[in-house]
């Protein structure tokens, strides 16, 4: 009887709140942050739930709350409580039978203000419970959004990710999550780099020196043409004179 209120006390007195990370990928490079617009997107919170059962039937419970902030600089933070003793025991049992540890978040939109943020359905991901135990609850949770700010997927991995069967003796290692949280928006695929290529070609052209001006045919080949013409004239003249001589002879 006494243990239940004590754990409750523990929970309420020392709530280890992990606020982690404000990582953001791409899309807004070069843009100013902290614009006036940002204030429109006040953060909101969605539950992060988890489930680990020996019989593998999902029963999701609250794990923590995700603080999401949409807008130009999307950010996310997580506040979560410690695992209760009962949970720790279950988790170890699940790990022993190679069960799964599942998490889920509701489908939400980070940007849509007018309509309902929340849509029906959840996004689910899993990790082997044993790897979570063996990594002493150090997990990496990644949220993926699409171009218009809808959450489309969630993933969880543990570091290290392997299950080597090492026994985790110390109960303290399984009390608090050591979570790294990131939110990833799609990257922009590159376009063909025509501008750069043309620039490079130009530079190369310049390096080679200015292209030679188009000379006229005569300007290019005068050295061949002149001797040829001269030769023809000479031979022609000789012919004529020869012919003349022959004629003369005939007369």
Partner 1 sequence: MRADSTCYTDSGSVRMESLKLATHVQRQQYVGKTLFAHFDSHSQSSNKLFLATDKNIFASFNSRTGDLLWRHVDKVGPEGTIDILVLHGQDALMVVGGGRLLRSWDTNMGGLNWEAVLDTGSFQAACFVAIQDTVKHVAVLKKAAISLHYLTNGHQKWVENLPDSDTVQYQAVYSGGEVEVYVLGVVPNSHLTIIAYSLEDGEIIKQRSVEAPWLSSVESSCVVIGQGVLMCVDPATLALYTLPIQAEEAPQFNQILLQSLDLEVSLGFQPVLVSSQPHPARSPISEFFLQLGPDHHVLLQLNADGYTIAALRDFQPAFLVSFATTGEKTVAVVMTPKNETACDINLFSADSGRRLLDTTVIFPLDLNGGKPFKLYVHAFLKKDDSVDYRVLVQTQDHALTFIQQPGRVVWTREEALADVVTMEMVDLPLTGTQAELEGEFGKKADGLFPMVLKRLSSQVILLQAWLAHLWKLFYEARKPHGQVKNEVTIETLSRDEFNLQKMMVMVTASGKLFGIDSKSGSILWKHYLENVQPNAVFKLIVQRTTAHFPHPPQCTLLIKDKDTGLASLHVFNPIFGRKSHIAPPALPRPILQSLLLPVIDQDYAKVLLLVDDQYKVTAFPSTKNVLQQLQEMASSIFFYLIRSDQGNLSGFRLRKDLSTERIWEVVLPTEVQKIVAVNGKRPNEHVHSQGRVMGDRSVLYKYLNPNLLAVVTESTDAHPERAFVGVFLVDGVTGRIIHEAVQRKARGPVHFVHSENWVVYEYWNTKSRRNEFSVLELFEGTELYNSTVFSSLDRPHLPQVLQQTYIFPSPITTMEATLTEKGITSRHLLVGLPSGAILSLPKMFLDPRRPEVVTEHSREENLIPYAPEMPIRTEWFINYNQTVARVKGIYTAPSGLESTCLVVAYGLDIYQTRVYPSKQFDVLKDDYDYVLISSVLFALFFATMISKRLAQVKLLNRAWR
Does the protein bind partner 1 through residue 188 (CB under 8 A)? yes
Cβ proximity to partner 1: between 14 and 201 the closer is 201
In whole angstroms, the minimum distance from the beta carbon of 235 to partner 1 comes to: 44
User: Please, which residue, 171 or 199, has the CB nearer to partner 1?
Assistant: 199
Q: Which of 192, 194, 145, 120 is nearest to 26 (CA)?
A: 145
C-alpha 183/C-alpha 111 separation (Å) is 14
| CA gap 241, 164 in Å, rounded | 110
Exposed, middle or buried by CB within 10 Å (0-12, 13-18, 19+), for 224? exposed
The pair phi, psi for residue 161, each rounded to 5°, is: -95, -10
**Judged by CB under 8 A, which stretch of 65-73, 171-179, 194-202, 220-228 contacts partner 1?**
194-202
Q: Which stretch binds partner 1 (CB under 8 A): 30-38, 60-68, 72-80, 196-204?
A: 196-204
Q: 127-186: which residues touch partner 1 (CB under 8 A)?
A: 127-128, 131, 140, 142, 144, 146-148, 150, 152-153, 155, 157-163, 184-186
Q: How far is the CB of 187 from partner 1 (least distance, A)?
A: 5
Lay out the sheet containing 138-145: strands in order across: 151-158, 138-145, 178-184
* Cα separation, 36 vs 47, whole angstroms: 28
Residue 190 binds partner 1 (CB under 8 A)? yes
> Which residues contact partner 1 (rule: CB under 8 A)?
56-58, 98, 100, 102, 104, 107, 119, 121-128, 131, 140, 142, 144, 146-148, 150, 152-153, 155, 157-163, 184-194, 196-197, 200
């Amino acid at each position: 009887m006494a243990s239940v209120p004590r754990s409750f006390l523990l929970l309420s007195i020392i709530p280890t709140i992990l606020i982690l990370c404000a990582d953001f990928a791409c899309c807004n490079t070069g843009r100013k942050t902290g614009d006036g617009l940002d204030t429109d997107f006040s953060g909101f919170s969605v539950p992060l739930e988890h489930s680990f059962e020996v019989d593998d039937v999902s029963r999701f419970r609250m794990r923590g709350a995700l603080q999401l902030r949409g807008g130009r600089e999307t950010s996310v933070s997580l506040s979560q409580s410690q695992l209760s003793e009962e949970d720790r025991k279950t988790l170890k049992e699940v790990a022993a039978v190679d069960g799964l540890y599942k998490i889920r978040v509701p489908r939400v939109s980070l940007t849509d203000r007018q309509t309902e943020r929340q849509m029906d359905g959840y996004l689910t991901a899993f990790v082997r419970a044993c790897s979570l135990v063996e990594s002493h609850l150090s997990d990496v949770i990644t949220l993926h959004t699409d171009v218009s700010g809808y959450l489309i997927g969630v993933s969880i991995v543990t570091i290290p990710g392997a299950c080597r069967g090492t026994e985790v003796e110390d109960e303290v290692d399984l009390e608090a999550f050591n979570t790294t949280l990131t939110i990833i928006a799609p990257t922009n695929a590159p376009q063909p780099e025509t501008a750069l290529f043309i620039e490079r070609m130009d530079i190369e052209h310049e390096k080679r020196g200015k292209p030679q001006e188009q000379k006229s045919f005569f300007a290019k080949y005068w050295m061949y043409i002149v001797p040829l013409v001269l030769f023809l004239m000479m031979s022609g003249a000789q012919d004529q004179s020869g012919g003349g001589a022959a004629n003369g002879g005939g007369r």
